[in-house]
Amino acid sequence: MASFVDVPTTKPAPTRPQVSGLSEAEAQQRLRHYGPNAVETAVEEPWWRVLLRQFRSLIVAVLAGAAAFSFAFQDQVEGYAILAVIGLNAGIGFWLEWNAQASMAALRRLGVSTARVLRDGQVRAVPADQVTVGDVLLVEAGEVVAADAELLEAQQLQVNESALTGESMPVTKQLAPPAPNAPLAEQTNRLFKGTAVVNGTGRALVTGVGAGTQLGTIAELVQQARHTATPLEAKLNRLAHQLVLITLALAVLFVGLGLLKGESAYQLLKTAIVLAVAAIPEGMSIVATLALAYGMLRLARRNVLVKRLAAVETLGSTDVIFTDKTGTLTQNQMAVHTAWLPEGRVDFAPATIEIDASPLLRTEAYQHLLRVAVLCNNATFAPERADAALGDPLEVALLSLAHQSPDFDVPGTQAGAGRLAEQPFNSDTRLMATLHRHDHGRGWVAVKGAAEEVLRYCPQQQTADGPQPLVPAEQTEWLQRAQELAAQGLRTLALAYRVLPEAEAPSRWAEELTWLGLIAFLDPPRPEVVPALDACRRAGIRVIMVTGDHPATALTIARQVHLATDAQATAVTGGELPDLLQHPNGAGRRRLLHAAVFARVSPAQKLDLVSLYQQQGHVVAMTGDGVNDAPALKKADIGVAMGLRGTQVAAEAAALVLSDDSFASIVAAVAQGRVIFTNIRRFVLYLVSCNLSEILVVVAAGLLGHGAGLLPLQILFLNLLTDVFPALALGVGRGSSRVMHHPPRDPQDPIMRPGDWRLATAYAALMPLALLGSLYIGWQYFELSAAVSNNVLFYGLAAAQLLHVFNMAGVGTSLRHNDVLRNGYVWLALGLCTGLLLLTYYLPLLRGLLDVQALPASALLLIGAPAGAVLLLGQLLGWLLSHRQRVA
């Protein structure tokens, strides 16, 4: 039988300056040359640029033009009123965006850290951004690597590089150089900035800082990934263009016809200004901003930080979600998945160990297995502080398994079997062994490692009848079992033990081991992921895993969370992607567009995948927590970063940050996004129909020879107060509980579809028809003056628009089953608007500005009757359209 020997893990003594590190003077000189060890993940936008962005709107440009004309015609009050509208909208948008930027600045401040380096022969703690090329960096378990470096010493050093590579298992570091052009995950003699040391200690010579690190390279990809406008931004801009074109066409037509008739150019231009003010729903952008902000607050209560308001709606139109595996679908924490003993196999639940699930867990062999798991272990773990565990993730998982076994005393086992010697794990022997005191002065050897290596030292195995011979055929079966587990993407360890006649380390103490079996590990799925993915599936959203991890591991997780339901499903690997992306035709194209799992994918390839799906017309969301996810997070239509386990680079690149790292929060965000878009479509229909009614009133009044019919300030009052508050109430409605039970809408679907324009025009026509009919009665029977007629038109239109809000529940929805009727915010808005209208009548200042006259009692009938008619006729119109759709 062979035995294993110590393998050195330290280089020969290095020469200066590596022994004593840089001098302080030399370090400062290099800092000036190489710059600070900082990665620029985002440039904080100055407040004035955020403010200026609020004015980049075609609607703002038209309103500014209307204000300029008002000032030119000496209508100072109207000009200032229009400017106030522009300023109010800009102020709200600025406040919300600046607050979101301040929240991210606070997250960045939390990331300030220190590093330990050798300076002038002394160990010093310096700010991480002051580490420079040539420094000797000291690292130990629990620390984050401050810079890229080449190892000088390594003692059982293991580093979690999942933030860069997506690989969930820590990398065992060693001094031997890798093969030329080895991928990052195989460069075991190097440390990388931003990765976490999970076990051991080491010293390394810093070779790269700041932008010269691997992390800096990825951050540069983030900056290169261009952000595209969200669907909502694009749709609102398109709607604004449509409204502006309508406005300009009507104004030109009206002025042209007037000039042909010989009317005053001055009066025609005044009417054109009124048309511009009437045609543009000044409150639309305010209501959209506030509706999005309210949705943002709702999401904040669900642990979702929204950095850009329009991102909320974008999630609602998402039909593809690319998700990372490690830390997003999984817990980023290894757990025991399977124990395979000589007498049978036990599969454990992902989150807890069900001790009564199998009688095998009460056998002597299982107790021996737990003893080896606890003693041949250098990790620290306490059940009450599981998040503070240190060490190799597999060793932490073994301790967790032992602590969850009620018949096993972990502290007692550790205290009663003091460690006398240790053979550390290394890449040559692929084993770890420890020697402990046993009863009656004997020694007890605990061994764990690769199955093929441990089996070499095991002539026997533990059974219910005690140790029994392990024949070659059985050894072959155990190797096949280990390969079977590995094919499922599981990490495996073999465990064995030996009782020595005395507690001393013999020269060949690894001989005559007794085989205990295999333990398989998996980074388990997060418990909330399966229901969240099921909800996505019901909502018609494809979820695709994109990871840097091994294909078998990725497929195992995909099957557990129901992402890959086909037993024959395979993962597309990063090695296959270049050819498939270069020739995306036929079977290759189908494979790219129907794959559920992409594995061993690089950051640049994630960008390519996002671009490919966007080119196919999909609205793509990308979730992730690592530095390697950041470029794709920025390129995607909506990037969703994890806040707890996520890196600062990922959080900077994303539009949403999940402060609880819960995939289920994404579902809540998707639902809220759908509700918001439905609400936006509803209040836009309301505002457009109201504004079209004002246009028709102005045009009809002009054609009848009554000038504009309404004053610009009266229209501004309607647009900013009596229209805005009901629209805002529609915008913050809670929506249907079945919003996630239908597929995403077509991403090309505009806010106002052709049918919506027809409906808005029909609704808009009802109001002037009812009002003009009322005015005709007033002229015929009550001899109304021009001033009183103007007031009847103003108040009548306001009342009609207020009641018109109940027509917004949906085509064919009766008043009895009207969810708008049950919206408390709508009633609050109606009460507020009614109060404001009363103020315009009774407050002298407002009476003067709006040219309000004392109204006769008959005016109440002339105002109220058309408003009621608009509501009833609107309900009839909705019923007729619904009946027509059912017949069709």
**DSSP assignments along 516-540, one per residue:** EEEEEEE-PBPTTHHHHHHHHHHTT
Amino acid of residue 802: L
Distance CA 869, CA 608 (A): 57
Pick from 183, 187, 161: nearest CA to 175: 187
- The encoded tokens of residue 851 equal 């040219």
SS3 sequence of 850-879: HCCCCCCCHHHHHHHHHHHHHHHHHHHHHH
Residue ranges of alpha helices (H) inside 462-550 are: 472-487, 529-538
Distance CA 182, CA 568 (A): 31
Produce one character per residue of 415-448: b if its CB has 16 or more CB atoms within 10 Å, e if not: eebeeeebbbbbeebebbbbbbebeeeebbbbbb
Q: Which helix (H) or strand (E) holds 78?
A: helix 76-110
Residue pair 557/325 in contact (Cβ under 8 Å)? The answer is yes
How is residue 335 annotated by DSSP? E
How many Cβ atoms from other residues are within 10 Å of residue 611's Cβ? 16
Residue pair 287/728 in contact (Cβ under 8 Å)? The answer is yes
β-partners of residue 546 are 598
- The encoded tokens of residue 190 equal 């190097």
Distance CA 514, CA 500 (A): 12
- The encoded tokens of residue 495 equal 């465990």
Residue ranges of alpha helices (H) inside 583-645 are: 586-594, 603-615, 630-635
- The encoded tokens of residue 814 equal 């009766």
Catalytic site residue from 135, 324, 523, 723:
324
Distance between the two ends of the chain, CA-based, in angstroms? 85
Pick from 219, 328, 317: nearest CA to 621: 317
- The encoded tokens of residue 641 equal 């970063």
Q: Is 324 a catalytic residue?
A: yes
Is there a cis peptide before residue 14, judged by omega within 30 degrees of 0? no
Amino acid of residue 584: P
Amino acid of residue 225: A
437-442-444 Cα angle (round to 5): 55
Residue pair 786/811 in contact (Cβ under 8 Å)? The answer is no
Residue pair 433/376 in contact (Cβ under 8 Å)? The answer is yes
β-partners of residue 461 are 468, 515
- Chain mean position to CA 16: 48
Q: Phi, psi (5° rounding) for residue 544?
A: -125, 130
Helices (H) and strands (E) in the chain, counts: 30, 24
Pick from 400, 384, 311: nearest CA to 639: 311
Angle between helix 58-72 and 231-260 (nearest 10): 30
Distance CA 317, CA 673 (A): 7
Distance CA 49, CA 4 (A): 66
Pick from 200, 198, 199, 194: nearest CA to 149: 194
Residue ranges of alpha helices (H) inside 264-392 are: 265-279, 283-301, 310-316, 364-375
Distance CA 424, CA 421 (A): 10
Distance CA 451, CA 479 (A): 7
Active site positions, annotated: 324
